[in-house]
Structure 1
C-alpha cells in the first residue's frame, strides 16, 4: 500500500473517530492528541538542520551569484502573482456566495490586535545580526540568508578549502533526508492523531452556522490549485496535472493535517525531488523561501472572510476597497513572513485596511482551524508548483521518463 493511501486512511479514520468522540472530546485530547503532537515535534526537529544544510549545498551547486539572483527574482515574482490571483478568487467567491448575508450573530469578543511588522523592517530582519540566534529561534528568513552566504562563500574559495565544508553539509543533508523518510512512515498515525481531536472538539454543530464560509474557502482553494497551479506546471514544466498532484499528494495531505507550511517542508522537498524531478539546487532554495513568504491559500481566505465580515455588518465594499484588499493581502504575504499566527495578523490588517469592524474577526475564530487546513494545503501546493516551474525555466527539471535521483 502506498504512503499516500495510508495517509488518506489515517485521515478518514481520524474524522470517523472524532465524530464518534464528539460528546467526549476530553478522551481524544487526552489519549490521542499526544501522538499527533509527537509527530509534529519529530517533523519540527528536522526543519532547521534540513533547510540549513540543503540551502548551503543548493547555493554552492548554483555557484553563480547572478544565477542565484535570477532564480530568486523568478521565485518571488511567481509567489506574488499567484497570491494576487488567489485573493481575487476569494473576493469573487465572497461576492457570489455572500456568506454573511442575513446573519445576525452578536459580536462581543474582543480581538487582541497585533500589528504586523512593516515591510522594510521585515526585509532588514532577513540579514541576521547574530546568525546563531536565528538558527536557535528557527527564524526561517535569517536561516535562508545565512545559508546562502555560506554556500556562495564556500564556492568562492579554492576547491581544496571549500570542498570539505560543502561535503560536510551535503552529507548532513542526505542524513536529514533519510530521517525524513523514517518520520514520514509514521505519517498515517500522526495524521490520525491530529485530526481526531479537532473533529471531536468542534463537531459538526459548530461548523453548520458558518458552513457557507467554509464551502466558499474550500471551493476557492480547489479552484486555485486546479486552475492556476496545474496550468502553470503544464505550461512551463510540461507535467500533466494528474502527475503533478499525484507526485505532491503526501506533502498536500501532511499540510492539510498539520496546518504548518514549515512543518511540511521536509515532505515537500522529498516529493518534488523524487516525484517531479526538481534539482537539488532549485528545491533547496525555492521551497524554504515559499514556506516563509508564499501564502496563496491564506490570501484567498482573506478575500472571503473580509467580505463575510462586511456582509454581517451590512456594509458594502466598493470596487476600490476590494482592490485595496487584493494589494494589502498580496504585500502582507511577505510583510508577515516569519510571524506566528500570520494568517490571523493578515486578516486583521485586511479588515483594518478597508475600515471594517475589527470585532468581526472573532466570528471566524470557531472555524479557523478548519479553514487553516485548506489554506495551508494550498500554500504548500503553491510552493511545489513554483519549484517545478522555476526548475523547468532553469533547465533543471528531470522529466518523469528520466531517471530521478533521490
Structure 2
C-alpha cells in the first residue's frame, strides 16, 4: 500500500496531465471539429504560461548567479565541473541531431498552414544582434526575445555579486521574486490537465487520430536515442575517466540511483542515492558533494535529448525543415540552456519548452505538442538526468586527481 501511495504521489502530476489529454482525445474523436468551441480554454492556459515565463526566467537566472558563494575557493573544481557538464550536454544533443538525420521524422502530420513566417533577408551579423540583444529595455519583456533576456539576467546576477553588501537589498528582492514566481507557475499548472485536455481535443478533432502516430514516432525517437546514449556514452565517459575498471565501478553502483530516479521521477530525490554511489565509485567526497547536488540542478542529459527531440518533432508538424547551420547551432545551444533553466524551477520542463517555441518564433499552437512530449518522456529523461551526474563526477575526478584516481583508496 505504501509503495502504491508513493508512486501516486511522485507521478500525480504526470497522471493528471495524461488523464486530461486522454479525456480531450476522446472528446476530439467523438465530436470532431465541434470541439473547437472549447479551444479558448486551452488558449487561456497557454497565454497564462507565456505571461509568467518572462519574469520567472529573469528572477530564477539572476538568483542562481547572485547566490554563488564567492568565499569558497572551488576554482579548478568548478571550472572542470562546468566544462564536463556543458560538453556532455552538447554531446547528448548532437547525438540526437545525428540520429534524427539518419532516421528522418515524417513531415506528413500537422497543419503546416498554421505556421506563418516573415522571410526577410538579413546579414548574419544583424540576425545575431537581434537574437542576443534588444534595442530597448521594454523589448526584453517579450517572450520573442528570450535569449536576450537570459543574457541580460546573467549580467544582472554578476552585477549583484560585484556590488557586494551595497547590492544586498536588491539581492533580497530577487530571491523573494524568485519564490513568488515559482508559486505563480505552480498555481497556473494546477489547471494544466484542463488546459492541455482542451487543446488536445481541438488538435485531435481538427487534425484527426493520425496525431497519435506523430507522438508515437516522437517517443520512439526519444527512447531509442536515450537507451543508446545511456548504455554506450555513459560507458564511454566512464572509460575516459578511468578505463575498464571505472566502467565496471560505474555500472555496478548505478543500479540504485537508476531505480530511485524512475521511482521518484526526480533528480533532486535521487541526490542521496547518487552521493552514496559516488563514494562506491571512488569519487572523492570533496568532488562528489559538489558535483552531485550541482548536477541535479544544472546537468540534465535527458533534458538535452528531450529538447532536440521536441524541436525535430515540432518542425516536422509545421512542415519546417530541420536543417541549416543556424537551426542546428540554435538547437544545440537551447539544449544547454533548457537543461540549466529546468533545474531551479518547479515544472521547469515546461519553461524549457516555451524557450524553444520563443527562440524559433514558432506559433503558440506548438506549445501543447512539446508539453505533451515532455510529459510522456519525463520518466526516462529523469534516469539520464540523475545518473549522468555520477559519471560526470568520474571525469571531473580524472581531471582533478589524475589518471590513477580509480586505483587509489578513497579517504574522507
TM-score of the pair, normalised by structure 1: 0.59
- Contact conserved, 2:81 with 2:396, CA < 8 A, in 1? yes
Aligned to 2:386, which of 352, 356, 380? 380
CA displacement at 1:389 relative to structure 2: 1.5
Structure 1 position 81 matched with structure 2 position 113: no
Q: Compute the displacement of 1:123 (Å).
A: 7.5
Give the distance between the partners of 1:355 and 1:301, measured in 2 at CA.
Answer: 19
1:215 aligned to 202, 220, 227, which one? 220
Aligned twin of 1:36: 7
Q: CA deviation at 1:244?
A: 1.2
Deviations 1:82-116 (A, max 9, x none): 111111122223333344532247999xxxx8979
Match of 1:254 in 2: 260
Determine if the alignment matches structure 1 residue 121 to structure 2 residue 127.
no
Q: What SS does the corresponding residue of 2:107 show, helix, strand or coil? A: coil
Structure 1 residues 69 and 318 mapped into 2: Cα distance closer, same or farther (>3 Å)? same
Q: Is 1:236 matched up with 2:236? A: no
- 8 Å contact kept, 2:307–2:335: yes
Task: Say which SS state the counterpart of residue 118 (structure 1) adopts.
Answer: helix
For structure 2, the 5+ residue unaligned runs are: 13-68, 115-142, 162-167, 180-210
| Aligned residue in 1 for 2:291 | 286
Q: 1:107 to 1:276 in 2, by over 3 A?
A: farther
> Are the equivalent residues in 1 in contact too, given 2:398–2:405 (CA < 8 A)?
no
**1:345 CA displacement:** 1.6
CA gap of 1:399–1:291, structure 2 versus 1, over 3 A, is same
Q: Report the Cα distance in structure 1 between the residues aligned to 2:311 and 2:329, rounded to whole angstroms.
A: 12
Residues 10, 264 of structure 2: 8 Å contact kept: no
Partner of residue 128, structure 2: none
Is the contact between residue 247 and residue 271 of structure 1 (CA under 8 Å) also seen in structure 2? yes
The correspondence of residues 7-406 of structure 1 with structure 2, limited to 5 A, is 33-36=4-7, 65=73, 68-104=74-110, 118-119=150-151, 121=153, 129=171, 210-238=215-243, 239-273=245-279, 275-320=280-325, 321-395=327-401
Distance 2:113 2:289 in 1: 45
Worse overlay, 341-350 or 82-91: 341-350
**Change over 3 Å in CA distance of 1:399–1:253 after alignment to 2:** farther
Distance 1:358 1:119, change over 3 A: same
Contact 2:93/2:335, CA 8 A, preserved across alignment: yes
**How many pairs align?**
283
Given that residues 351 and 357 in structure 1 are in contact (C-alpha distance below 8 angstroms), is that contact kept between their aligned partners in structure 2? yes
Q: CA RMSD in A?
A: 4.0
Instruction: Write the distance in 1 (CA, Å) between the matches of 2:212 and 2:406.
Output: 41
